[in-house]
Amino acid sequence: MEHWQQRWENAWREIVLRRRTGLQARLGRALLRIASWPYGGTIRLRNWLYDHRWLSIHAAAVPVISVGNLSMGGTGKTPCIEYIARYYRQRDIRVAVLSRGYGGLDSRNDEALLLEESLPDVPHLQNPDRVAAAECAVHELESQLLLLDDGFQHRRLHRDLDIVLLDATQPPERDALFPRGMLREPFTALARAGHLVITRTDQVSPAELDALYRNITRRFPSLPIAQAIHEPESLRWGDKVLPPQSLAERSVVAFCGLGRPDAFRRTLEQLGARLLDFRVYPDHYPYTSADVAELHRWAATTPPDTWIVTTRKDWVKLRLDELGGRPLGTLTITWRLTTGAETFHAALDRISTLILQESTLEAEPGSVSGKEFPASPCETAITDGSLNSTRQGCNPST
């Protein structure tokens, strides 16, 4: 049985993306458009209050890079965060990731579990109060750089570089503000961005990509732009690793809980898989024992030669090698810059220079940019975990 959240989200997506037609769908879109007006007004008022310093912006004692987007998930923030974290770790810079922690499972969500697997030496601090998380990362973990996951709208914490990701398959000019569409902010909010990365550029035609690029450069001529793809890296079956091209001409059933499930579907189809069935769960979905039992039943009904495939982001929550007596394969994805890499890396290197400058100064203990905080904010701020476990005041998730 489908979870109520799954049914609601799937129905909402079908309406706003115009997959449903007819009078009821048109009426639903009209009502959602009306509901987006007060939402848009609230967003504009909030941004105005931050722009004019009526709302406080707190600066951490170390540089902060935000990775975010205009839309509601699914632009590839997690692989981008991993790419940036790895870039700095290769330069011996101590990095911590700060996130809100949506959809946590045993106090850690799928992003934290995925980063724990791929970057075990990078702590991931999950806390809705990311100013308090920054305090913990700096003074408890001695981090030199903070990566703010999904931070474009989290303006309470100052950032030294604002990276915004934009999915080429869902350009903002074809979208609308929530709840009529999937935009958290209007297209004009890109004026705050320090660097833009257009993702999934391989999943649209050259003409569509060119039109999107020209529209952005016309509106924001000074905004640096890079392009990236989510490239299939491997197909894992337990300890066995196959090239992703092994899916070609194979009968496949797949499932995922992502912000952009269609992107995963298109990747499988581009690899040549013959999709017999494709199940979609909400983004950051915390699989329950009932869900796992249903997946076992579903997998057992597939033809004997069918391959069952999911994403690594889903697998880290399931930790299963088989479903319904069939092997469960996971498709791993790597994030690769195709154009604009030199400019993107130059922006990251400028932050490295800031870190070198900051390392010569000692931060004031017990404050962020001179702003005092209540005693021991870390005691309730962050989720449990193993890295630096002796630092009980911070409790990072990895």
Annotated binding site: 71-78
Q: How far is CA 379 from the centre of its chain?
A: 26
β-pair partners for 237: 240
Half-sphere exposure of 319 (CA within 13 A, CB side): 9
Q: Which residues are annotated as a binding site for ATP?
A: 71-78
Structure tokens at 97: 């990731």
Asked whether the beta carbons of 186 and 180 are under 8 A apart, the reply is no
Asked whether the beta carbons of 268 and 311 are under 8 A apart, the reply is no
Q: Which amino acid is at 185?
A: E
Q: Which residue has the tokens 């915004």?
A: 164
Using CA atoms, how far apart are residues 25 and 21, in angstroms rounded to an integer?
5
Residues near 2 by beta carbon (within 8 Å), at least 6 away in sequence: none
* 3-class DSSP assignment, residue 202: helix
Asked whether the beta carbons of 292 and 269 are under 8 A apart, the reply is no
DSSP single-letter state for residue 238: T
Residues near 21 by beta carbon (within 8 Å), at least 6 away in sequence: none
Residues near 348 by beta carbon (within 8 Å), at least 6 away in sequence: 65, 84, 87, 88, 161
Asked whether the beta carbons of 157 and 76 are under 8 A apart, the reply is no
